[in-house]
């Protein structure tokens, strides 16, 4: 179907974009890579009267080292995330998860900021952002504020971004020297996650010294598997110890039932995939 008629603006600064968003009210919508929004418009599930394209704002693109962390502009497309040396060295889990998203075409247009703002619980970027304690910078009429990933994901397709606000950048602390792995389970190559696990561990002398684990599609938001993290710390990086800790993977989850999988099957997957992800991360 062809989308309903809309006006289109392409601001060149965050401030212009925020003003356009405020003036457009609830009929205005941000467009980033369009990979989630355009299908919604074509199905006429949404019909905004104004689209504000962030593609002309240079500040929102690119990846930089700020000392203790790596900062990714919200409009940075997936293919740049995957190819970036800084992220590969310091935030490898994000790169690994991004590599599993869809196909080359989607990874060429889709953006990290768009994916996080969209907050699809089956999306693959929320769990690594949550596990890695990412911080999101959000701009609005009254300036900029920072929100932790733990506070950013509020509910099903709902984030802490307010009505007239824009996600501008995502900052990841450095996890240099950590092992990491994103274990995704889907029915066919390039499909969405039925369930997936993002894991990063620091192994010291054969013992797991620190662990970060995030779950995809096990609730209305990405979920931090804190019980698994606690059970892993101090354990030897062996299959038996890791699988025992992975048994805690369903604590605090509310797995959905849908055409792809019933909730009890997802719970089974979460435990198995957590074991696989952590073992792969631990090398
Ligand atoms: C065929 C196909 C397969 C896919 N498979 C997967 C998959 O396996 N895994 C996966 O994770 N994703 C998948 N996706 C979704 C893809 O990752 C999208 O690119 C992503 O969800 C949205 O990013 P975008 O830049 O295209 O955002 P858009 O579609 O442009 O925007 C999405 C939403 O976020 C809002 N928004 C965007 N940027 C901002 C911002 N900076 N500030 C505030 N609001 C903003 C928009 O208003 C809109 O509501 C798939 C998409 C397609 C088309």
User: SS3 letters for the chain?
Assistant: CCCCCCEEECCCCHHHHHHHHHHHHHHEEEECCCCCHHHHHHCCCCCCCEEEEHHHCHHHCCEEECCCEEEEECCCEHHHHHHCHHHHHHCHHHHHHHHCCCCHHHHHHCEHHHHHHHCCCCCCCHHHHHHCCCEEEEEECCEEEEEEHHHHEEECCEECCCCCCEEEEEEEECCCCCEEEEEEECCCCCCCCCEEEEEEEEEECCEEEEEEEEEECCCCCCEECHHHHHHHCCCECCHHHHHHHHHHHHCCCCCCCCCCCCHHHHHHHHHHHHHHHHHHHCC
Instruction: For residue 31, give the ligand 1 atom closest to its CA.
Output: 30
C-alpha 168/C-alpha 54 separation (Å) is 10
Instruction: For residue 60, give the ligand 1 atom closest to its CA.
Output: 41
Ligand 1, pocket-test mutation among 97, 105, 110, most atoms within 8 A of CB: 110
Q: pLDDT under 50 in the chain at which residues?
A: none
CA of 274 to the centre of ligand 1 (A): 25
CB-defined site of ligand 1, < 6 Å: 29-37, 54, 74, 101-102, 106, 109-111, 113-115, 117-118, 120, 123-125, 161, 166-167, 192
C-alpha 7/C-alpha 23 separation (Å) is 13
pLDDT at 97: 98
C-alpha 158/C-alpha 111 separation (Å) is 17
The residues near 102 (Cβ < 8 Å, ≥ 6 apart) are: 35, 110, 190
Residue 35 is encoded by which pair of tokens? 């990979």
Nearest CA to ligand 1 atom 50: 102
Residue 83 is encoded by which pair of tokens? 């190819």
Give the full edge-to-edge strand order of the sheet including 223-224.
179-185, 195-204, 207-216, 223-224
CA of 108 to the centre of ligand 1 (A): 12
C-alpha 267/C-alpha 105 separation (Å) is 32
Q: Yes or no: say if 49 and 27 are a contact pair by the CB < 8 Å rule.
A: yes
Each residue of 111-123: pLDDT tens digit?
999 999 999 999 9
Each residue of 169-191: pLDDT tens digit?
999 999 999 999 999 999 888 88
Nearest CA to ligand 1 atom 19: 110
CA of 242 to the centre of ligand 1 (A): 33
C-alpha 56/C-alpha 225 separation (Å) is 38
Residues in the chain: 283
Between the alpha carbon of residue 164 and those of residues 21, 148, 167, 277, the distances in Å are 5, 19, 10, 38
C-alpha 202/C-alpha 283 separation (Å) is 10
């Amino acid at each position: 179907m062809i989308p309903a008629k809309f006006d289109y603006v392409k601001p060149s600064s965050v401030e212009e974009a925020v003003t356009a968003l405020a003036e457009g009210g609830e009929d205005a919508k941000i467009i980033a890579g369009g990979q989630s929004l355009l299908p919604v418009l074509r199905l006429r599930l949404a019909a905004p009267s104004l689209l504000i394209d962030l593609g002309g704002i240079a500040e929102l693109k690119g990846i930089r080292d700020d000392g203790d962390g790596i900062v990714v502009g919200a409009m940075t497309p997936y293919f740049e995330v995957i190819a970036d040396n800084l992220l590969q060295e310091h935030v490898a889990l994000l790169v690994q998860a991004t590599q599993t998203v869809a196909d080359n075409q989607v990874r060429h247009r889709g953006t990290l900021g768009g994916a996080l703002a969209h907050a699809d619980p089956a999306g693959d970027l929320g769990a690594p952002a949550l596990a890695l304690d990412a911080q999101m910078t959000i701009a609005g009429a009254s300036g900029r504020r920072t929100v932790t990933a733990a506070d950013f994901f509020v509910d099903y397709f709902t984030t802490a971004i307010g009505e007239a606000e824009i996600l501008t950048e995502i900052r990841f602390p450095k996890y240099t020297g950590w092992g990491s792995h994103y274990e995704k389970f889907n029915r066919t190559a390039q499909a969405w996650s039925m369930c997936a696990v993002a894991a990063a561990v620091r192994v010291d002398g054969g013992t797991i010294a620190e662990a970060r684990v995030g779950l995809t599609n096990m609730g209305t938001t990405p979920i931090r598997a804190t019980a698994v993290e606690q059970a892993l710390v101090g354990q030897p990086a062996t299959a038996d110890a890791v699988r025992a800790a992975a048994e805690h993977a369903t604590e605090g989850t509310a797995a959905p039932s849908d055409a792809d999988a019933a909730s009890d099957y997802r719970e089974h997957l979460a435990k198995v995939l957590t074991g696989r992800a952590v073992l792969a991360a631990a090398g």
